[in-house]
């Protein structure tokens, strides 16, 4: 089987049809050969996203309350956004989202964790950064035209309390849950080493190599 590490080994593609092109992603129906079986799969071709786990000097994490139409719910989330600006560096995108959604900047950045949001049917890969040494932007939030970002109330929650909220089922946003649990693990004794903020994003490179990123 080899080392325990994700690898790019696409199945043989027999046919592909784009059935929907939306504002940010598209849906392809692919016919592939998997272990000798001819199967069809619906695939969301997604540009990917970044998120920011903001940790202040009091060991508190920043959570933003934002509406999500797909669920009909308000969720407490970390600052996050799509990688839908052509050729934008992921770290630059994370810093932009922090400014737009929280009116904050950070002097110290690390790569916290990478993950696939729904690998059974979507190519969405997400990188969560850890942002520390926080300060407010003098001009406040950088306001966008997004309806969901008109009003973004925020709260600082002690990291240990945030872990309890995730484990108790009270926080379900994936970047918030993943970021909180990853930050708690990093804080454990002995502390784990984090990657540099400019670390290679191998998962995204693999998706690009097999055409799994839409043209944005």
Flag whether 31 is in a domain: yes
| Structure tokens belonging to residue 162 | 């945030």
For residue 181, the enclosing domain spans 49-203
The domain tally of the chain equals 2
* Verdict on whether the full-model pTM lies above 0.85: yes
Decide: 49 and 43 in contact? Cβ < 8 Å. no
pLDDT tens digits, residue range 131-151?
999 999 998 887 777 877 778
pLDDT tens digits, residue range 59-99?
999 999 999 999 999 999 999 999 999 889 999 999 999 99
pLDDT above 60 (res 216): no
- Give yes or no: residues 66 and 90 share one domain: yes
Catalytic residue (choose from 77, 136, 149, 205): 149
pLDDT tens digits, residue range 179-194?
999 999 999 888 889 9
Chain centroid to CA 187: 21
- Give yes or no: residues 40 and 53 share one domain: no
Active site residue 133: no
- Give yes or no: residues 53 and 138 share one domain: yes
């Amino acid at each position: 089987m080899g080392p325990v590490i994700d690898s790019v080994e696409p199945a043989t593609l027999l046919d592909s049809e784009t059935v929907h092109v939306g504002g940010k992603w598209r849906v392809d129906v692919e016919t592939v050969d998997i272990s000798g079986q001819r199967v069809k799969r619906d695939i969301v071709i997604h540009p990917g996203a970044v998120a920011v786990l903001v940790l202040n000097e009091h060991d508190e994490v920043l959570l933003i309350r934002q509406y999500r139409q797909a669920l009909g719910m308000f969720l407490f989330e970390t600052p996050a956004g799509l990688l839908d600006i052509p050729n934008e560096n992921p770290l630059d995108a994370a810093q932009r989202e922090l400014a737009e959604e929280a009116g904050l900047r950070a002097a110290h950045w690390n790569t916290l964790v990478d993950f696939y949001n729904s690998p059974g049917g979507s190519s969405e890969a997400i990188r969560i950064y850890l942002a520390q040494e926080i300060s407010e932007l003098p001009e406040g939030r950088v306001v966008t035209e997004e309806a969901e970002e008109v009003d973004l109330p925020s709260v600082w929650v002690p990291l240990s309390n945030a872990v309890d909220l995730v484990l108790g089922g009270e926080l379900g946003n994936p970047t918030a849950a993943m970021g909180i649990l990853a930050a708690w693990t990093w804080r454990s004794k002995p502390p784990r080493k984090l990657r540099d903020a400019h670390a290679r994003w191998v998962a995204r490179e693999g998706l690009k190599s097999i055409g799994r990123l839409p043209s944005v």
